[in-house]
Chains A and B, each alone.
Chain A
Amino acid sequence: MFKLLLKDLLVLKSSIIWAMTYLLAIIVIFSMTPPFDKFIYIMAGYGATYILIMGALMAEFKNNSDILLNSLPAKRHEIILSKYLTALILTLLALAVAAILGLIINLLPLPLSIRLMSGMDAAIVLLMAALTLTIVMPVNLIFSNQAARVGIVIVFMLLFFAPVWIKGFIMDRCEAEWAQFLINAAVSQPAVLLAAGAGLLLLLLALSLIISLRWYEARDF
Chain B
Amino acid sequence: MENVLEIKGLSKNLGSFRLDKVSFSLPRGYIMGFIGPNGAGKTTTIKLLMNLMHRDGGDIRVFGLDNRHYEKEIKQHIAFVYDESHYYENLSLLDNRRIVARFYRDWDEKAFQQHLRDFDLPPHKKLKNLSRGMRTKFGLAIALSHAAEFLLMDEPTSGLDPVFRSELMDILQQLLVEENKSVLFSTHITTDLERVADYICFINQGRIVLCQSKDEMLQGHVLVKGALEQLSPEAEKMFIGLRKNHYGFEGLSADPRGIRQFFGDGVLLESPGLDEIMVFYVRGHHHV
Contact = CB atoms under 8 A, between A and B. Distances in A.
Interface string B63-98: 000000001110110001010101111110001001
Contacts of A68: 86-87, 100
Contacts of A218: 54
A4 B75 CA distance: 16
Interface string A68-105: 10111111000000000000000000000000000000
A123 B89 CA distance: 36
B104 A73 contact: yes
Contacts of B102: 3, 6-7
B104 A63 contact: no
Interface string A1-28: 0010011001101100000000000000
Interface size class of A (residues with CB under 8 A): 20 to 34
Interface string B251-278: 0000000000000000000000000000
A65 interface: yes
B71 A75 contact: yes
Interface size class of B (residues with CB under 8 A): 20 to 34
A19 to B, nearest CB: 16
Contact of B54 (A10, A11, A67, A220): A220
B41 to A, nearest CB: 14
A74 B86 contact: no
- Most chain-A Cβ atoms within 10 A of its Cβ — which of B73, B91, B99, B100? B99
Nearest to B104: A73
A70 B46 CA distance: 13
Contact of A65 (B47, B52, B86, B104): B86
B90 A220 contact: no
Given A67-B82, A221-B52, A73 B88 contact: no
Contacts of A65: 86-88
A23 to B, nearest CB: 22
A70 B76 CA distance: 12
Contacts of A74: 72, 75, 103
B209 interface: no
B53 A71 contact: no
A3 B73 CA distance: 16
Contact of B50 (A63, A64, A70): A70
Interface string B138-157: 00000000000000000000
A59 interface: yes
Contact of B91 (A10, A72, A75): A10
B17 to A, nearest CB: 12
B100 A67 contact: no
B99 A71 contact: no
A71 B88 contact: no
Nearest to A60: B88
Contact of A11 (B82, B84, B88): B88
A220 B50 CA distance: 11
A72 B88 contact: no
A63 B103 contact: no
A15 to B, nearest CB: 10
Contact of A70 (B52, B91, B99): B52
Nearest to B89: A63
Interface of A: 3, 6-7, 10-11, 13-14, 59, 62-65, 67-68, 70-75, 218, 220-221
15 contacts: A6-B98, A6-B102, A10-B98, A11-B90, A11-B91, A62-B89, A63-B86, A65-B88, A67-B52, A70-B50, A71-B86, A72-B75, A73-B75, A73-B103, A220-B54
Interface of B: 47, 50-54, 71-73, 75-76, 80, 82, 84, 86-91, 95, 98-100, 102-104
Given A67-B52, A74-B72, 12 more contacts: A3-B102, A62-B89, A63-B86, A65-B88, A68-B86, A70-B51, A71-B75, A73-B104, A74-B103, A220-B47, A221-B47, A221-B53
